Chain A
């Protein structure tokens, strides 16, 4: 657990609480609950959280030696298997923590936003598990490309509210959830899905996710007798990234790589106000969005740009303020991988290791493919989630490209709809 000051809303210049006045009492109440229950374990909150993470969530997740990749790269590659957590992604750590906290706080209703649907799914599961009513906001573009997760939320009893404004992705869903919260703040807890938003969310979400690095660090020492040379994690909002890095931040000999979505290009289309990537750590500027000062994709006037990634979970114009700070401090190295390389890495990990990764995760492996000579002799890569949710996207995007490594998809064309 982090020892930084729970009351300090900033990470250097980043962070803060830039929210409508109606929400300020709620985030103050939340900051107090975070201090008491999470940091001080009042009423045994953290004991119950850890117990539920084990029994309901399936922790600890393994740290697996990747035989084929290690041989291919002549580097010992270890996979932190968050895809094996209940629900298929690291998201459950945070969702379970926050829904349980809402219960301790006496809240009656849960709301959340989701991009790829993994956070929405995890929140719906946690809410069902803890018997709380739950509504999820999701952009209509994301609903279309993440149908399996939409069904999973509904199956777990959550309402899914489509967001039609803007491009209908995570950015719009967050704004819409904040509007709901501003109306219902007295009875409702907003389960923010990443290390973004106003204080205390970035610290609290990091702490719930830091179980990843806590386990990975111990498991690595147990298996190798030492710390890894590098830790890699994909970065969208940054919850998986901060969770994977948190316990390594003080280990200065361990290099930390945050792998962002380079999308189709790092160049910005100023005319259309579109960034064809989601690389806010690599290319963004400082600004204020969704409650925090952080690095953002924005135009010269400060209007937020539409972002892009093949992966819905990385498709966001901002990033957590602590990551922005760690990048400025030189502790975290931001790198990026484009859509093509991520898709290729998706197929490689699936074929070489029998692990079908989320497209988010595939970005981290895309970086490893191109830079395995630079990351040292032992590297830990967080498999942030499993790729089942992305299969429709993968089929569609693979069919548009000439990828040597991809399976022959003509099988689908041959059988067409006749197999039904």
Chain B
């Protein structure tokens, strides 16, 4: 299924986990649990040692994953080993994409990603101005390139991004780095309004923690919700308390269901278009 198709019929729930956190095997179970809980797209993190766009929760997940031996090569094996029937997006930093393979540039990484069935990329440290080579490689191998629109993004930069984005657009709900919050920022609605005429689905992320948050975001007009830190917290707590992998997986599945149901409720609350 393509990324856009995943948003077609109902609001999409897009969970994030760092691949290999806290171990390769447990992480496979956790990602599959999210799919059972209703994930429509999975953002799978390939950990980079300097994750400048991430808050503490995901930084810690990245450290656990790297310490457990995650590498780009292992990441691709991980995706091959995953038993899910929803599209997978690779979320990572540009240096890992650039360094992969013998040949310089993003081509070899994108080619390998296509081979294992990855549908697209989110690269937080790659603004549209620097994305040309990756965009070309994605076009060559038929993958999508998702861009993050921040509350501060305006004017010509929005136009540049609109020209390059595909799959969906990641709407950053508030300034700052990733991390679960207890409220939903008003900047979200303003950002969604600025993107109203973009013809790709709009998925909102950064700070979404509960089904109620998801409901509010979707009722405000989002086509999907992206949730990372609130899920990584469950993985971290399970790891720290030594909980069985199955129990943590069950908790992730229940959390996914709560978030997906919140998104569905949000869709019902949207103002219905007037019929003429």
CB within 8 Å of B: which residues of A? 9, 16-22, 24-26, 28, 165-166, 171, 175, 178-179, 182-186, 285-291, 296, 298, 300-304
**Contact A183:B157 (CB < 8 A) given known A20-B124, A302-B96:** no
Q: In this assembly, does B53 line the interface, its C-beta being within 8 Å of a C-beta of chain A?
A: yes
- Which residues from chain B contact A9 at a C-beta distance below 8 Å? 129
Told that A20-B125, A288-B93 touch, could you supply 19 new A-B pairs with CB distance under 8 A?
A16-B129, A17-B129, A19-B52, A20-B127, A20-B148, A21-B124, A24-B127, A24-B129, A24-B150, A25-B153, A25-B157, A166-B49, A182-B52, A183-B175, A185-B175, A287-B98, A289-B50, A291-B125, A302-B95
B-side residues, CB < 8 A to A, are 48-55, 59, 63, 66, 71-73, 93-96, 98-100, 104, 124-127, 129-130, 147-154, 157, 172, 175-177
C-alpha spacing A21/B51, complex, angstroms: 14
Q: Which of A182, A186, A287 contacts B95 (CB 8 A)?
A: A287
A287 touches B150 (CB 8 A): no
4 closest A-B pairs (Cβ-Cβ)?
A: A302-B99, A183-B176, A22-B150, A20-B53
Residues of A within 8 A of B63 (CB): 165
Q: Of A17, A166, A287, which is within 8 A of B127 by CB?
A: A17
Instruction: Show 30 residue pairs from A and B whose CB-CB distance is below 8 angstroms, ordered by the A residue.
Output: A9-B129, A17-B127, A17-B129, A17-B130, A18-B125, A18-B126, A18-B130, A19-B125, A20-B53, A21-B148, A22-B150, A22-B172, A22-B175, A24-B150, A24-B152, A25-B150, A165-B63, A175-B50, A183-B175, A287-B95, A289-B50, A290-B50, A296-B95, A300-B99, A301-B72, A301-B73, A301-B100, A302-B95, A302-B98, A302-B99
Given contacts A17-B129, A21-B147, A303-B66, contact A288 B94 (CB under 8 A): yes
User: In the bound complex, how far is the Cα of B190 from the Cα of A389, in angstroms?
Assistant: 49
Whether B72 contacts A290 by the Cβ 8 Å rule is: no
Q: What is the minimal beta-carbon distance from A319 to any residue of chain B, in angstroms?
A: 15
Majority SS at the chain A contact face: mixed
Q: How far is the CB of A53 from chain B (nearest CB, A)?
A: 32
The smallest beta-carbon distance between B114 and chain A, in angstroms, is 19
Given contacts A18-B125, A302-B99, contact A178 B52 (CB under 8 A): yes
User: A179 and B52 in contact (CB under 8 A), knowing A21-B148, A25-B153, A186-B152?
Assistant: yes
Min CB distance B205 to A, Å, is 12
Contact A21 B150, beta carbon cutoff 8 Å: yes
Q: Does the CB pair A302–B100 fall under 8 Å?
A: yes
Docked-complex contact B124 and A165, CB < 8 angstroms: no
Chain A residues with CB under 8 Å of B55's CB are: 179
How long is the Cα–Cα vector from A285 to B71 in the complex, in angstroms? 18
Considering the complex, give the chain B residue whose CB is closest to the CB of A183. B176
User: Could you tell me the distance in whole angstroms from the C-beta of B77 to the nearest C-beta in chain A?
Assistant: 14
Question: CA separation between A355 and B100, bound complex, in Å?
Answer: 47
Compute how far the CA of A171 lies from the CA of B96 in the bound complex, rounded to whole angstroms.
17
Residues on B with C-beta less than 8 A from A182 are 52-53, 175-177
- Give CA–CA (A175, B93) in the complex, Å: 13
For residue B151, which residues in chain A have a CB less than 8 angstroms away from its CB?
A: 22
What is the CB-to-nearest-CB distance from A293 to chain B, in angstroms, rounded to a whole number?
8
Query: Contact check: which of A16, A21, A291, A303 meets B149 at CB < 8 Å?
Result: A21
Q: Tell which of B54, B127, B148 has the most Cβ of chain A within 10 Å.
A: B127
